[in-house]
């Protein structure tokens, strides 16, 4: 399908959460906006998030919920467009939602409600969205073609986008170019390194990247243990590099997953140990010493099975007290029980790797925020070029924070692009 014109005020690469938010915001200002999406559908990550219910934000959003080489960078955007602003739009559309653990907000019905809301806002404002668009080349236009003073009233083209839609090659021009291409996580939903390639082209630095919010795998004896316990979930406190999270851990046939593990993966680096407290809500020492007095004839595994699954206790017995497995609790010295109790509060594990970008919910690292205006998301050295969303070196915790960053950064760019 041909375009009526090859010139747009704003071209946005990527029709995900940040791209759509930027599009509707810019179009509401009267800008002629085109969104180019390489996939066959828009908003794929929105639709799959939260088990299809979309954890679209959180009631409590702070800079401490985000990881970046510059921990202050996210503050301006998060203040400019808050969780309450997005909740207001959700409520205006009458979308039913619920609050879950840790103040996370989910759709009651379907993530489609959030995507349809964004698409409706784009349509009402006149933003155009095209799918099946593969970007071939981005070119800055000669300086004589545009003002170097970056005045809002000057809408001459600054960038040319060469692409093909299906078999049709196209060349489009724009005053403002917004990179909302996402990152490397979940390539099956459109994750790619295109945004990084564009940053490299313009000499913008990248911070080190790796999979985030991702399960761990093991190559040692933990691997068969996890396979045997696959499907078992329990609440733990997991720690690594001075950060801790208390949430569920899930054993899988590959290793360990669950909210606690996904959270701590953002702070783990290859070679690091993680520390797991299997009984975060009580003192195992006090409990076992008390059991020695009150349940002295019971086996230790029988006592432990009051708080933990029999399968897990059996595995830990093999690891930690195999030689006294059939001994009654009364037969253990206090020193032995204290030593075993300490293991339950400090199970040290060394993952061999994560499951990688294939299952990672986000990408840690990205476009170096030192090159970007925290207020507008514009590249400081290239007028009219913007980076928003996950492509930037801003990574949120699990719990709706990455979507809030998408809304906030997209809105901030949409106000000025």
How would DSSP label each residue in 343-371? Answer: HHH-EEE--SEE--TTT-SEEE--B-GGG
Tell me which of 134-148, 244-258, 265-279, 395-409 is least confident. Answer: 134-148
- 139-177: pLDDT as tens digits: 999 865 444 444 445 567 899 999 999 888 999 999 999
Q: Residue 214: what pLDDT? A: 97
Q: Residue 166: what pLDDT? A: 84
**2 pLDDT exceeds 60?**
yes
Q: Residue 150: what pLDDT? A: 47
Beta strands in 122-229 (DSSP E): 128-130, 133-140, 159-165, 168-179, 210-212, 216-217
**5 pLDDT exceeds 90?**
no
- 323-378: pLDDT as tens digits: 999 999 999 999 999 999 999 999 999 999 999 999 999 999 999 999 999 999 99
**186 pLDDT exceeds 80?**
no
C-alpha to C-alpha distance for 354 and 213, rounded to whole angstroms: 10
**Where do the domains of the chain lie, and which CATH numbers do they carry?**
7-210+363-414 (3.50.50.60), 215-355 (2.40.30.10)
- 191-229: pLDDT as tens digits: 789 999 999 999 999 999 999 999 999 998 999 999 999
By percentage, how much of the chain surpasses pLDDT 90? 90
Which H or E element spans position 277? strand 274-277
Average pLDDT over residues 251-260: 97
Tokens 């999406």 correspond to what residue? Answer: 37
**3 pLDDT exceeds 90?**
no
**129 pLDDT exceeds 50?**
yes
Tell me which of 21-30, 77-86, 289-298 is least confident. Answer: 289-298
Q: Residue 167: what pLDDT? A: 86
Provide the whole-model pTM. 0.93
C-alpha to C-alpha distance for 417 and 53, rounded to whole angstroms: 31
296-319: buried (b, 16+ CB within 10 Å) or exposed (e) per residue? eebbbbebbbeebeeebbebbbee
Q: Residue 146: what pLDDT? A: 47
381 within 8 A of 371, measured Cβ to Cβ: yes
C-alpha to C-alpha distance for 195 and 362, rounded to whole angstroms: 14
pLDDT top residue among 81 and 185: 81
Q: Residue 152: what pLDDT? A: 47
């Amino acid at each position: 399908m041909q375009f009526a014109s090859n010139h747009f005020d704003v071209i946005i690469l990527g029709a995900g959460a940040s791209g759509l938010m930027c599009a509707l915001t810019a179009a509401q200002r009267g800008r002629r906006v085109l969104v180019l999406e390489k996939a066959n559908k828009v908003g794929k990550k929105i639709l799959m998030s939260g088990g299809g219910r979309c954890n679209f934000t959180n009631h409590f959003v702070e800079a401490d919920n985000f990881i970046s080489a510059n921990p202050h960078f996210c503050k301006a955007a998060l203040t400019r467009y808050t969780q309450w602003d997005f909740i207001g739009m959700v409520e205006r559309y009458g979308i039913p939602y619920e609050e879950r653990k840790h103040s996370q907000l989910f759709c009651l019905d379907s993530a489609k409600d959030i995507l349809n809301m964004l698409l409706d806002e784009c349509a009402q404002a006149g933003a155009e969205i095209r799918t099946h668009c593969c970007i071939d080349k981005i070119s800055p236009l000669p300086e004589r073609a545009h003002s170097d003073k970056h005045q809002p009233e000057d809408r001459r083209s600054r960038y040319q986008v060469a692409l093909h839609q299906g078999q049709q090659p196209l060349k489009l021009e724009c005053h403002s170019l917004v990179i909302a291409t996402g990152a490397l996580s979940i390539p099956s939903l459109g994750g790619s390194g295109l945004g990084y390639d564009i940053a490299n082209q313009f000499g913008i630095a990248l911070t080190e990247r790796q999979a985030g919010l991702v399960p761990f795998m093991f190559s040692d004896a933990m691997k068969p243990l996890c396979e045997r316990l696959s499907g078992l979930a329990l609440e733990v406190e997991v720690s690594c590099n001075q950060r801790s999270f208390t949430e569920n851990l899930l054993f899988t046939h590959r290793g360990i997953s669950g909210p606690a593990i996904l959270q701590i993966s953002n702070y783990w680096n290859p070679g690091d140990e993680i520390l797991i407290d299997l009984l975060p809500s009580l003192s195992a020492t006090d409990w076992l010493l008390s059991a020695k007095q009150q349940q002295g004839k019971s086996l230790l595994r029988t006592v432990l099975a009051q708080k933990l699954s029999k399968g897990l206790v059996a595995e830990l017995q093999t690891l930690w007290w195999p030689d006294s497995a059939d001994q009654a609790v009364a037969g253990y010295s206090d020193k032995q029980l204290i030593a075993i109790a300490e293991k339950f509060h400090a199970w040290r594990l060394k993952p061999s790797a994560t499951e990688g970008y294939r299952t990672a919910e986000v990408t840690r690292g990205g476009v170096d925020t030192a090159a970007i205006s925290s207020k507008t998301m514009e590249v400081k050295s290239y007028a009219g070029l913007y980076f928003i969303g996950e492509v930037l070196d801003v990574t949120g915790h699990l719990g709706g924070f990455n979507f809030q960053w998408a809304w906030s950064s997209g809105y901030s760019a949409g106000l000025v692009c």
